[in-house]
Amino acid sequence: MPSLGPWSALAVSTSLSTMPASPCPRAMSPKSRVEIYDKIFDINVRGVLLSMKHQIPAMLKTGGGAIVNNASALGIRPVGTPSTVYHASKFAVIGLTKSTAMHFATKGVRVNAVCPAIIETDLTEGLRGNEELSARLRAAHPMGRFGKSEEVAAAVLYLCSPGAAYSTGVVLHVDGGFAV
């Protein structure tokens, strides 16, 4: 693994999924409760905001650093059965990332985001295990497969590395072409 040099590499990874096993409904309707919105936004957006609130002052004291927020391909391209509030929360993470990047660009703190699509994890095992659904989902990814956690980790490592020292406000798709 390459050295990160003076960068304090911190990845913010908060997310509440709307996968079928999730306790959150997949769509917002007039009958939906505000508590659903609050729960999703508290985890996906407020979690990122509070993490940066504490990370940035520490980075400023040490001369800078890199933050990588976890958004989602669904924050770029909301499709399928609508998960309206989830999509909106990931759009918000992207906006928060870009806005914070602009604010701290001259202060040595870089703020970027990764936007993974479906990644082979325990969380997605249920939908990947359904052959019909899995085939449809793979077809939505031009590469024809799901991502691996190591591929997301490599993107995060790059964004934290000196090789990305001139990158801030980047929204890096790690999605097999899903958002194309």
What residues are annotated to the active site? Answer: 86
Residue pair 167/159 in contact (Cβ under 8 Å)? The answer is: yes
CA distances from 110 to 35, 89, 146 (A): 33, 21, 28
Q: How many Å apart are CA 178 and CA 79, to the nearest integer?
A: 10
Q: How many Å apart are CA 75 and CA 91, to the nearest integer?
A: 5
**H or E element at residue 67:** strand 65-70
Amino acid (1-letter code) at residue 134: S
